[in-house]
Amino acid sequence: MQQARWTTQLRPGALDAFDLTWKLEDDLDLAVDAVGPAWEALRGARLFITGGTGFVGRWLLETLARAEVRLGLGIDAVILTRDPDGFAARAPHLAAASGFSCHRGDVREFAYPLGDFTHFIHGATDSAGDLGMSDPRAMFDTVVLGTRRVLDFAVAKGVKRILHLSTGAVLGRQPWTLPHMAESFAGVPDSANAGDAYGEGKRAAEMLCAIYGRQFALDVSIARLFAFAGPFQPLDSRFAIGNFIRDALAGRTVVVKGDGRAVRSYLYAGDLAAWLWCLLARGPTGGLYHVGSDEAVSIGELAARVARLVGNGSYEIQGAADSGWNPGRYVPAVDAITQDLGVRRTVGLDQAILRTLAWNLKAAAGE
């Protein structure tokens, strides 16, 4: 077994609310089942995926590999990555999976892979935040030029179907008085603030999808992603829920660096993957849907919940005004996707926290 990456000092009984027999494979099966007959629309597809090695992409690949084993779909998936060797080291079972192959390249200028393709999923973006602050031009170019490159490739290959992964950040700041942002909400990022390069770039990418849809008859659907929790989520990035779980694993006080007033919502990653596969398989041409949870929770409440569920019960709100990209609300309305595609949220926030923690414990122990 590998040596644990954390000194775990979970409080006694911390996992009493959790089924200790849980395995990641159980959630992969649930996600595959949730997609159901929609998998048949992808049988025999040749799929090109950008952004396949990050958190969202990892869940797409894990569920696709599971569906392939169970259903024998015969899908050939080509994954664009700048570092195939690094991906193989992190996920050797996926790198070696039947029908999976990596294509080395940067999304802004990759050489077109050989052969024809039927479906694209375009999700390549560095959304971790550091690039947007340190080099917003590179962030903007990665989003916009990468999307242009992918769409040009789709036109050249006569691709049948594209799912573009966007973000709720295209809507700018959500008013405190608006409980949930619908797809029709007319908010925008601040074009005079370089810190909004990610949201503004994704907004331009959505426009490119609309242009190519009209001008070249590409069949494109757009998923605006919000916030998520689950296995494979980094515990050392700008995402609060991962940092809180990291603190709990180490037996430390869960620390909120801001004032705790910001409001978010978290969809479990298994549900995320199922919703995205349903969108690729049967989303309407030109369809635009929010993908996330409508269960709102303040960052302060989230810290308290993580501390209570799995930590030592201690959390601290430092009290300084939150200076992050969005110190307000960031909660989607998801009525459209649940009604049109029949998807639903199956895992609540408490279970999402517990499953994320349990996976990290298993990974730390080499299981």
Q: What domains lie within the chain, and their CATH numbers?
A: 24-229+267-295+328-347 (3.40.50.720)
- Which residue's structure tokens are 């090695």? 53
Residue 204: burial class (beta carbons within 10 Å; 0-12, 13-18, 19+): middle
**Diameter of the chain by CA atoms?**
61
Helical spans, DSSP H, in the chain: 24-35, 55-71, 84-90, 92-95, 130-134, 136-157, 197-216, 240-249, 269-282, 299-309, 335-341, 349-364
User: How far, in Å, are 123, 124, 202, 224 from residue 205 at the CA level?
Assistant: 11, 12, 5, 12
- Which residue's structure tokens are 């299981």? 367
CB 346 within 8 A of CB 270: yes
The tens-digit pLDDT sequence of the chain (367 residues) is 233 344 455 666 666 666 667 899 999 999 999 999 999 999 999 999 999 999 999 999 999 999 999 999 999 999 999 999 999 999 999 999 999 999 999 999 999 999 999 999 999 876 545 665 678 999 999 999 999 999 999 999 999 999 999 999 999 999 999 999 999 999 999 899 998 999 999 999 999 999 999 999 999 999 999 999 999 998 887 789 999 999 988 889 999 988 999 999 999 999 999 999 999 999 999 999 999 999 999 999 999 999 999 888 899 998 776 656 567 899 999 999 999 999 999 999 999 999 998 898 878 777 6
Query: Token pair for residue 34?
Result: 């949730």
